[in-house]
Structure 1
Amino acid sequence: MKTMKAVGFDAGLPISSPNSLRDLELPVPEATGFDLLVEVRAVSVNPVDTKVRAGSPSLETPRVIGYDAVGTVVAVGPDVTRFAVGDKVYYAGSIGRSGTNAQYHLVRENIVGHKPQSLSDAAAAALPLTAITAWEALFDKLKLAPSDSGTLLVIGAAGGVGSLIIQLAKALTDLKVIAVASRPESSEWVQFMGADEVVPRDFASDVKRLAPNGVDYVFTSFTPANLEAIADVIKPRGQVVSIDQSGGSIDALKSKSITWHWELMFTRPLFEPHDYYQHQLLNEFSGMIDAGRIRSTLTTHIEPINAEGLRRAHELLESSTITGKVVLSNWPS
């Protein structure tokens, strides 16, 4: 039986514990049905990785997580029609399946895109989950169109999703983007991403100065601490899209008849296994990357992919001081 390297855990331990993530040796899976077997070359780490790991109960067998990958297709199931052995791909996987922190990974073809040709494996691995999330938030939930104007407030702007919310809004709409960023390096990063204005974490007074009539749209990845401020600065009949838990009642928004959207990019993979929307989206996103309209959000690159490197990556995310994305590439020989 052929085996592969992987990284997993069997209990929700603090990341400071050497057993919070462990190097594993597992069987190489077999591609069946609509699955691609991908030889993984690079992965990135997202907040969902740290939350799933830290919140896990004790397990009888180790669990492998990871929700971004770049690699090469090495085998295809008999029902696959859109990919062939040798294709370079990138994708975000599904929270309902074993993850990408493994040398070989199974993923359904309907959520996989062709990797941007202009990017390295590491630079491309920074993008899939956050690109899908940002795209669905702006264009599925808020229903934005190229001619749309007004003001978008981005809370959590320096993170992986926020960085792409800014870029997509500036590339594909006429919106003015106000980014929330508190540290000097975060402020510099969101301006590099294209934000028109930057405001500090306690943003209400600054936003009301920049948008006296209120903002039209709010994207938030730090909702609980900001509900009152969002209600204060948003226009009547405005729209909010959130990617985290509200942490409390959103009744403060009722008097303004605010529309509230939840965005979870795993909804399609979990509930619509034959939907090819994310496949098409990632291919379109690759085109935008290769045309120079969108840039990678890679900021921290770690080698190789192993338990030590992933523990470092999780620690960086849990510190809440990282801008952009943390990526790992190349398995140890």
Structure 2
Amino acid sequence: MNSSAPSHFSIGSKAPAVVTRTGGSIETEGSLVDTELTVDAPTGHDILVEVVAVSVNPVDVKVRAGGEVADRVLGWDASGVVAAVGPDVTLFQPGDEVWYAGDITRPGTYSRMHHVDERIVGRKPSSLSHAEAAAMPLTTITAYEALFHKLKLSKDSTGTLLVLGAAGGVGSVLIQLAKKLTGVRVIATASREETSAWVTDLGADVVVIHRGDLAANVAAVAPEGVDWVFTSQTGKNLPAIVELIKPFGEIVAIDDEAGLDLLSLKGKALSWHWELMFTRSAQHTADMVLQHELLDEVADLVDAGEIRTTLTRTFSPLNAEQLRAAHALVETGSAIGKTVVTSEVAAEVATAH
């Protein structure tokens, strides 16, 4: 039998949600629409979460803008409270506060009541509000997997890590994790004064201007080259990356631009890694629970004051109108840190540094 806790919405009732009717441009009438969905009881390893806050990621924008998503609930970041648990659940109980990034193959988090597999859910940091917590899961999982599952860095690692797109959501967490959990030197790229200040405040050792000759700009502060590169902006930067990285160096990328000349890596015997945090949940891998474990580990770091939220802008309440505004901001590509939409009472609007 499912265990449950008091909630604003009971099993079998209707709960608010936001769906995309048409996909496409955020300006179209059906891009994001308020609706109500029936609350079903959780089964198996699922927990039912009463969602309090969600963040808007580039993947949300990409899926919506790509069309062919009729009546789909988007959203892949959430912070909330467990309302009920399935019969196979062992990690959580009703009333627990949780944060997670969800599963791209299932309905998303733009829903006040949301089903998610417990094995990709973590304990919400007790020191953060739901809005502050919702900013982080997807980017935290991505950054953690990139650093420790792909590049296999550790507390004993030394060398130089170059972070391209450092002021974005993933880069903002990755800098912090690299500085707190490894011994590497972090070079971050930035293109504006405010992004330079942001990544410096997060702990980057050196900030390099991304405009102009990237390879020359990095060589000025790392003449011996760099050991690792994290990139969310590969594309036209790949030749510079190959030029500035040391032989046998490693690159981990999260973007998916077509036509990359990966053969150019062969001369230096470079290693290329793709990072996609949805792989474990989408492929139902045997080690899915690693995402639960890493989220708990980072929650401990947050509560110890070692890692901070990357929230920079908050919209409220959690409805289609506010989500459209958040999508429009993220779609500019110039936002620093993370944008969150929350139902928390009297949510404060934060602005980027």
TM range (shorter): over 0.9
Q: Deviations over 1:1-46 (max 9, x none)?
A: 4101111112222112232111111111221111100000010011
Alignment of 1:128-139 (within 5 A): 128-139=137-148
Could you say what secondary structure the match of 2:142 adopts?
helix
Aligned partners of 2:86 and 2:176: how far apart in 1?
36
Aligned partners of 1:258 and 1:86: how far apart in 2?
48
Could you say what secondary structure the match of 1:107 adopts?
strand
1:323 maps to 2:336:
yes
1:261 maps to 2:273:
yes
Tell me by how many angstroms 1:265 deviates.
Answer: 0.4
Q: Which residue of 2 aligns with 1:103?
A: 112
1:118 maps to 2:131:
no
Contact (CA 8 Å) 1:90, 1:115: kept in 2 or not? yes
1:285 maps to 2:294:
no
Contact (CA 8 Å) 1:29, 1:105: kept in 2 or not? no
Alignment of 1:266-277 (within 5 A): 266-272=278-284, 275-277=288-290
Q: Which residue of 2 aligns with 1:175?
A: 184
Could you say what secondary structure the match of 2:114 adopts?
strand
Alignment of 1:243-254 (within 5 A): 243-247=254-258, 248-254=260-266
Aligned partners of 1:228 and 1:16: how far apart in 2?
37
Aligned partners of 1:238 and 1:199: how far apart in 2?
20
Q: Which residue of 2 aligns with 1:158?
A: 167
Q: Which residue of 1 aligns with 2:351?
A: none
Alignment of 1:181-196 (within 5 A): 181-196=190-205
Could you say what secondary structure the match of 1:204 adopts?
helix
Q: Which residue of 1 aligns with 2:348?
A: none
Q: Which residue of 2 aligns with 1:147?
A: 156
Q: Deviations over 1:231-281 (max 9, x none)?
A: 111111100000011432212221111000000000111113553111111
Aligned partners of 2:158 and 2:19: how far apart in 1?
45
- Residues 331, 17 of structure 1: CA spacing in aligned structure 2 closer, same or farther, 3 A cutoff? farther
1:221 maps to 2:221:
no
Superposed CA RMSD in Å reads 1.3
Tell me by how many angstroms 1:207 deviates.
Answer: 0.4
Aligned partners of 1:225 and 1:164: how far apart in 2?
24
Q: TM-score, normalised by structure 2?
A: 0.91
Aligned partners of 1:141 and 1:45: how far apart in 2?
25
Aligned partners of 1:273 and 1:258: how far apart in 2?
27
Could you say what secondary structure the match of 1:37 adopts?
strand
Percent identity over paired residues: 55
Q: Deviations over 1:89-137 (max 9, x none)?
A: 1100000100000010000110111100111111011111111000000
Alignment of 1:82-97 (within 5 A): 82-97=91-106
Tell me by how many angstroms 1:58 deviates.
Answer: 5.8
Q: Which residue of 1 aligns with 2:318?
A: 305
1:13 maps to amino acid? G
Structure 2 unmatched runs, 5+: 1-11, 346-353
Could you say what secondary structure the match of 1:12 adopts?
coil
Aligned pair count? 330
Q: Deviations over 1:200-221 (max 9, x none)?
A: 2232111011111111000000
Contact (CA 8 Å) 2:19, 2:73: kept in 1 or not? yes
Structure 1 unmatched runs, 5+: none
- Residues 331, 103 of structure 1: CA spacing in aligned structure 2 closer, same or farther, 3 A cutoff? farther
Range 230-239 or range 8-17, more displaced: 8-17
Q: Deviations over 1:270-327 (max 9, x none)?
A: 1135531111111111000001110000000110111111111111111011000001
2:92 maps to amino acid? F
Q: TM-score, normalised by structure 1?
A: 0.97
Could you say what secondary structure the match of 1:327 adopts?
strand
Q: Where does structure 1 differ by over 6 angstroms across 4 or more consecutive aligned residues?
A: none
Tell me by how many angstroms 1:181 deviates.
Answer: 0.6
1:290 maps to amino acid? D
Contact (CA 8 Å) 2:23, 2:30: kept in 1 or not? no
Range 106-115 or range 264-273, more displaced: 264-273
Tell me by how many angstroms 1:194 deviates.
Answer: 0.7
2:302 maps to amino acid? I
Q: Which residue of 2 aligns with 1:21?
A: 32
Could you say what secondary structure the match of 2:25 adopts?
coil
Could you say what secondary structure the match of 2:34 adopts?
strand
